[in-house]
Amino acid sequence: MTGAQEVNSAWRPALSRSVILRHDRVRDTDLLVLPERVVVLRGSAGSVLRLCDGANDVGAIVATLAAQHPGAPVADEVPVFLGRLRAEGWLT
């Protein structure tokens, strides 16, 4: 995992205090609004981050997404994605 931290399935990710998840109606896409920066999210990234509320652990997030997207490789991809965002400091 280049640039990502190891992710424990019991970790309960939440957006960092300085990060806001917003939906841009004009672009019809989700955004992460950071101090002095905006990150445009692609694909299902917004759906994943909406589950990062500090109450759901990584295992529950993966299970929810697997039920919503049968056959998708969420068990492999979601922990890596969350680890990358944690390494950026966007998730606690």
Whole-angstrom distance, CA of residue 32 vs CA of residue 35: 10
- pLDDT at position 5 over 70: no
In a domain, 47, yes or no: yes
In a domain, 7, yes or no: no
Q: Using N-to-C axis directions, what is the helix angle for 58-68 and 74-88, rounded to 10°?
A: 130
DSSP-assigned letter for residue 48: H
Banded pLDDT at 92 (limits 50, 70, 90): very high
In a domain, 37, yes or no: yes
Number of domains into which the chain is organized = 1
Q: Are strands 20-24 and 37-40 parallel, antiparallel or unpaired?
A: unpaired
pTM equals 0.89
In a domain, 12, yes or no: no
Banded pLDDT at 1 (limits 50, 70, 90): very low
Q: Where are the beta strands (DSSP E) in 25-79?
A: 29-34, 37-40
In a domain, 41, yes or no: yes
User: 31: domain range?
Assistant: 20-88
In a domain, 3, yes or no: no
- pLDDT at position 33 over 70: yes
